[in-house]
Amino acid sequence: MTTTTQQTAAISIGSSKKLIATFALLGGLGIVFLTGFASSDTVHNAAHDTRHSMAFPCH
């Protein structure tokens, strides 16, 4: 009975790490694309160098 409990806990931990990584990736991409298409000059200038280093076209 202990072996089954330990295996289930290991699977749960692995799944939650993948879920957290997925949300972090989607959140990061969302921030990059929202700043990339923002019409505000302040937002554009704040993220300008980062976007160019990631080959994101902004002009």
Our count of domains for the chain comes to 1
How far apart (Å, rounded) are the C-alpha atoms in residues 35 and 30?
A: 8
Residue 29 lies in a domain: yes
Residue 39 lies in a domain: yes
**Host domain of residue 25:** 21-59
pLDDT tens profile 5-40? 555 555 566 788 889 999 999 998 888 787 777 777
Q: pTM higher than 0.85 for the full model? A: no
Q: What is the 3-state secondary structure (H, E, C) of the chain?
A: CHHHHHHHHHHHHHHHHHHHHHHHHHHHHHHHHHHHCCCCHHHHHHHHHHHHHCCCCCC
Residue 11 lies in a domain: no
Q: How confident is the model at residue 58 (pLDDT cuts 50, 70, 90)?
A: low
Structure tokens of 38? 């923002």
Residue 7 lies in a domain: no
Residue 32 lies in a domain: yes
Nearest to 56 by CA among 40, 37, 28, 42: 37
